[in-house]
A and B are shown apart, each in its own frame.
Chain A
Amino acid sequence: MAATHTLLDPDTLSRAEPLGMFARRVVEGYRVGEHRSPFNGFAIEFSQHREYSPGDDPRHLDWKILGRSDKYYIKQYEQDTNFVAHLLLDGSASMSFGSGKVSKIQYARGLVACLGFLILQQRDAVTATIFDDRPRETFQRTDSLGKVHQLCTQLTNFTPGRPGNLRACLQDYAARLSARGIVVIISDLLDDPADLLQGLRRLSLTRSEVIVFQVLDHEEVTFPLEGNIRFIGLEDDSRLQTNPADLRKSYLAAFNEHQQAVRRACEQCGVHYTLCDTSRPLAEALTGYLAFRSKAG
């Protein structure tokens, strides 16, 4: 009752509405002129056989008929159920950082909403989870486009505040994953790349397609700060007083090394990696990625 009340809270609704509208606008913009879903389904059902003709994919040969009758038949399927997209949003305290108009969590919320809207619109199923050191909020699986508002409300209501544990969360989620699907991880990935690698490895064992969106603030990428600054950690409350100009070179070296390790981990696990800089418009980042995915087929 309380949850329903919260969901129907006008304030929450009003705060979630712009996110839903934003997601709709981005997705509609992308869909104009497009007829083919960028996300191809896996849940397909046999429809009929037909004779093989040159050019057909040999993977679709019916080997049993070939073994029995020595004839080449191709199995044809029809898509009757949608795939399930698992949207995993990092809600750790580090995601609350933002130097510009939007923080990382705001940017990531928009990204989740857009992807959810897009997938639901093509009648596939979506489930979403916000995690930090463990899953905090879960948006139950749905294939109803009408639930987008609920998704947006849940995203908006969540406030980051705890340290994250990406490896544990990914391993835990992989263990609970019952069927193949698409797993979309949206995080700043500021944890140890080794933890990321372990988590991704566990997910890849589920044979699901895994996509990683790394959301970073522009200042984290370029470190342009000047003057005497006391830095306070967002997750561990550690403090450090220094002049950033003295450390810029070393910071950028460590940061770039980390980024390379993240990319390497993604490559090793066959994960598609996309870097999102919060200084770039979300629509630009999302449509760019979707266009790439459409071309990749």
Chain B
Amino acid sequence: MQFLAPAALAGLAAISLPVIIHLLNKLRIREVRWAAMRFLQAAVKKNQRRVKMQDLLLLILRCLVLAVIVFAFARPTFEKIEKSTLVAGDPLTVMVLLDQSASMGASDGLETRFAAARLATLNFLEELPSGSAAGLLLVNDSYASPVSRPSRDLSLVRRSVELAKLTDRGTDFQPAIRAAVEALRNLTGRREVHLFTDNQLSGWHALEAVREFLKTAPDIKVVIATPGSGPADAGSTGNLAVTNLKLDTAIPVAGQPIRVLAEITNTGETPANGVRLTLSVDDDPPSADAVISDLAPGGTRYIPLLVRLPGTGFHTLTATLPPDRLAFDNRRTLALEIAPASDVLVVESRRGPALWQGSGHFLASALAPVDEEAASRHYLHVTRTTAADLDPSKLSGYTVIFLAGADALAPPMVTALASFVNDGGGLVIMPGDATPADIFLDAPWPDLLPAVINLPVEPSQSGVEPGPYNHPLLTLWNDPGAGNLNALRFSKVFTLAPVDAPGVSTALRLADTSPVIVERTVGKGRVVLFAAPPVPSWTNLPLHPAFVPLVHRLYAGSARSSSLKLNLSPGDTFQAPVPIDQLNRDVYVRGPAADAKTVAVGRTELVATQAMLAVRNTSEAGRHAVFVGQNERPDFYFAVQSPAAESDLKTAPADILTSGTAPVAGAGASATPAAPPPYAPLLTAQQLWIFALAAAAFLSCAELFLALRTSRSS
């Protein structure tokens, strides 16, 4: 048997205390003159032996209690302690890396991986040889450095480990390992980096870079410990995750059905069947649900859900799965802003005085597919005009301008349009019969257009390319339930030659691969170019069922989008403009937890000419409410979404840094058992310590019982 803290054995001297107290009690005698001595003598004669035995037994018990307590503090162990590793030997300079990424929240039913890693870290720190120094980095997709350099104040490091919390952030081991090695590089003596983690495979995406970097510090040993990541972890028992949540409706409108797509991934090893997915708006009870069935391990499925949002402004949608072993990915929140009604301008050419004779008639009808009475209440206010009537000074009032077979525009008007786009406006160009192709050669058209417009031709194949489509404009038709574009025909098209410029992409091609829809980002705005006008003489698109949703998606894709980024990754900064009169006001945030408190995070500041608020270091996944000043209602909502890769609990082998080959994600690396932690002797010592304390408690109870029975106080 060995002792981890042999100095504590000096406490055995305390055993003399009961003996001294016993002797002192014997000396403290009172004299009483007594008449009934004969009864007393009879009692003494009868009990003397028993009383002496009890006295002796009590004395032994009291000594034993002290001895066992001292024994416990000496931390006995039956297992041989590796002299070369920890307890004995030279002092160690170590950087401890504790993984606090979201995947560490996986539970085996008793404790999370993070709790196990934290406990193992504390045990490791406790067993460091005297004179050792330790630093602490908390690993996520970046790293936090509570103790950035090795310190001999191990209590500070232990305290920092105790205060460390699980985050909803992703995993990337590279930055933390680099920082740890750099912290040790210029020191002398035994230097090691100990990483306490679940060794998630996705955290090693920069494995080769890490290996190369470690070659620059060959005398620094890196040890990976995976406490709590046994074979019976969450990965092998099943984990269903909401890995994405996105809108599938072009223009979300208050009170109208909104289609939301929830991406559900089965990262466990058992099929998911009959699992209920719910979707709730803001803090309300779920308003939509769906049942997921037959989702194979590793499989992903998009679940469409329909909800209605109660009004304009900021809202959040939260998809929720039933609880499983990994809690963080059972919920995902999407924040969105429902804008009020927008103004849209359709510039057309007219063959007669009636509106239906305009080339933009089908387009205008699709943008606001309601009668005249309801048009004023529609969320898109459509204004129709001709190129001649266009007023360049009024363009900024519109979100999107459609040139639907319009006549040639005057150069000042084109300049105004360029300015409109650069400021964030959307421009959709549909050249037609009245639009000569050569006008687009003049400046500033080439800087605006995503493609060079050549003369119209009759295409060799009038149909469009079959799906699936990757461009957001057309992904709706990847769902067979939404119809398809097979019947779409173009009898005549302008020949488009996409320009070689950044931000240019082709959304749709004809079956002969000639582009039909090309878009380009210009300044803060976007320009979409169609190869044909929305008139039946060119294409049957205006008569096709896909026309209305396509037009709305076209509008949504090119509309002057809000600069607000409402859906963030953990660690991102939320920024939003506020009215100038709210400058220097306090900014408060309430997190997503049910018992979250509203906390001040700073003040609104002036950035350039705009008053802005900023919420930095967002970490907790879910809905965050932002208040400016003393406002009772939140001014903004934003959502923090954990990286989907964290849901994949596949682990890398413990010797990943030294083995020759890099593991392939999804190649079943999770089955690789984690290497046994090198701290087994320490755990044994801890267990014996507990047993010794239990024995002390038992002996104390026995002593108390005997003392009460013989009426002696301790």
Q: Is B393 an interface residue (CB 8 A)?
A: no
Given contacts A225-B32, A241-B29, contact A258 B40 (CB under 8 A): no
> Once the chains bind, are B34 and A228 in contact (CB under 8 Å)?
no
CB <8 Å contact, B47 and A228: no
A-B contact number at CB 8 A: 95
Q: Which of B26, B34, B38, B710 has the most CB of A within 10 A?
A: B34
Q: Contact: B28 with A228, CB < 8 Å? A: yes
Q: Which residue of A lies closest to B711 (CB)?
A: A245
B37 interface contact, C-beta 8 A:
yes
Query: Residues of A at under 8 Å CB distance from B?
Result: 93-97, 104, 188, 190, 217, 220, 225-236, 238, 240-243, 245-248, 250-251, 253-255, 258
**A residues in contact with B25, CB < 8 Å:** 228
- A residues within 8 A CB of B711? 226, 245-246, 248
Known contacts A228-B26, A245-B710, A246-B54; A236/B32 CB under 8 A:
no
Nearest B residue to A192, CB-CB: B38
A227-B30, A230-B29, A241-B29 given; A247·B44 CB < 8 A:
yes
Taking a contact as CB atoms under 8 Å apart, the answer to whether B47 and A250 are in contact is: yes
Q: Check if A251 sits within 8 Å of B43, measured CB to CB.
A: yes
Could you give 6 example pairs across A and B, Cβ below 8 Å?
A188-B35, A227-B30, A228-B25, A246-B54, A250-B43, A254-B42
Bound together, the chains give a CA A227 to CA B28 distance in angstroms of 9
Whether B36 contacts A228 by the Cβ 8 Å rule is no
Contact B30 A190 (CB under 8 A): no
Query: Closest 9 interchain pairs by CB?
Result: A250-B43, A94-B35, A97-B35, A245-B711, A247-B43, A233-B37, A254-B39, A246-B51, A251-B43
Chain B residues with CB below 8 A from A235, complex form:
35, 37
Contact with A along B686-714 (1 / 0, CB 8 A): 00000000000000000000000011100
Which residues of chain B come closer than 8 Å to A254, judged between CB atoms?
38-39, 42-43
Chain B residues closer than 8 Å to A245, beta-carbon distance: 710-712
Complex contact A230–B30 (CB within 8 A): yes
Cβ of B31 under 8 Å from chain A: yes
Q: Name the distance in Å between B439's Cβ and chain A's nearest Cβ.
A: 118
CB distance from A161 to the nearest CB of B (A): 12
Q: Is the CB of B46 within 8 A of A240?
A: no
Chain A positions within 8 Å of B710 at CB level: 245-246
Q: Is B188 an interface residue (CB 8 A)?
A: no
Query: Is the beta-carbon distance between B39 and A97 smaller than 8 angstroms?
Result: no
Given A245-B710, A245-B712, decide whether A240 and B29 contact each other with a Cβ distance below 8 A: no
* Residue contact A97 to B43, C-beta cutoff 8 Å: no
- Tell me which residues across on chain B come within 8 A of A104, comparing CB atoms: 35
CA distance A217 to B36 in the complex (A): 10
Task: Give the residues in chain B near A246, CB-CB below 8 Å.
Answer: 47, 51, 54, 710-711
1/0 per residue, CB under 8 A from A, across B1-38: the answer is 00000000000000000000000011011111111111
User: How far is it, in angstroms, between the C-alpha of A242 and the C-alpha of B710 when the chains are bound?
Assistant: 13
Bound CA span A43–B711, Å = 59
Are B33 and A247 interface neighbours, CB within 8 A? no
Q: Check B562 for interface membership: any CB of A closer than 8 A.
A: no
Take A245-B712, A246-B47 as given contacts and tell me if A255 and B41 are in contact as well, using a CB distance cutoff of 8 Å. no
Check A238 against B41 for contact (C-beta < 8 Å). Answer: yes
A236 to B35, CA, bound (A): 10
Known pairs A104-B35, A217-B35, A229-B29. 16 more at Cβ < 8 A?
Answer: A96-B35, A220-B36, A228-B25, A228-B29, A231-B40, A232-B32, A234-B33, A238-B41, A245-B710, A247-B40, A248-B711, A250-B43, A251-B40, A254-B43, A255-B39, A258-B39
A213 to B430, CA, bound (A): 133
Contact A190/B51 with A229-B30, A240-B41, A250-B46 known, Cβ cut-off 8 Å: no
Contacts A246-B710, A247-B43 known; A190 to B28 CB distance under 8 Å?
no
Choice from A230, A238, A247, A255 contacting B32 with Cβ under 8 Å: A230
Residue of A nearest to B34 (CB): A231
B36 in complex: contacting residue of A190, A229, A236, CB < 8 Å: A190
- What chain B residues lie within 8 Å of A255 (beta carbons)? 36, 39
- Chain A CB within 10 Å — which of B26, B30, B38, B47 has the most? B38
CA distance A241 to B44 in the complex (A): 9
**Which residues of chain A come closer than 8 Å to B26, judged between CB atoms?**
228
User: In the complex, how many angstroms separate the beta carbon of A280 from the nearest chain B beta carbon?
Assistant: 18
Nearest CB of chain A from residue B45's CB, rounded to whole Å: 9
Interface string of B242-269 (1 = CB under 8 A from A): 0000000000000000000000000000
List residues 522-563 of chain B with CB under 8 A from any CB of chain A. none
Closest beta carbon of chain B to A90's beta carbon, Å: 11
B44 touches A242 (CB 8 A): yes
Closest to A188 in B: B35
Instruction: Enumerate chain B residues within 8 angstroms of A230, measured Cβ to Cβ.
Output: 29-32
How far apart are B39's CB and chain A's nearest CB, in angstroms?
4
Point out the residues of chain A lying under 8 angstroms from B36, CB to CB. 94, 190, 220, 255
A191 to B234 alpha-carbon distance, docked (Å):
86
Please give the distance in Å from A61's CB to the nearest CB on chain B: 52
Residues of A within 8 A of B29 (CB): 228-230, 241
Q: Which B residues lie within 8 Å of A96 (CB)?
A: 35
Q: Is the CB of A243 within 8 A of B35?
A: no
* Alpha-carbon distance between A53 and B40 when the two chains are bound, in angstroms: 62
Asked whether A251 lies within 8 Å of B39 as measured between CB atoms, the reply is: yes
Contacts of A228 in B (CB 8 A): 25-26, 28-30
Q: Is the CB of A97 within 8 A of B34?
A: yes
Chain A proximity mask over B39-67: 1 for CB below 8 Å, otherwise 0? 11111101100010010000000000000
**Cβ contact within 8 Å between A220 and B40:** no
Closest-by-CB residue of A relative to B27 is A228
A220 touches B35 (CB 8 A): yes
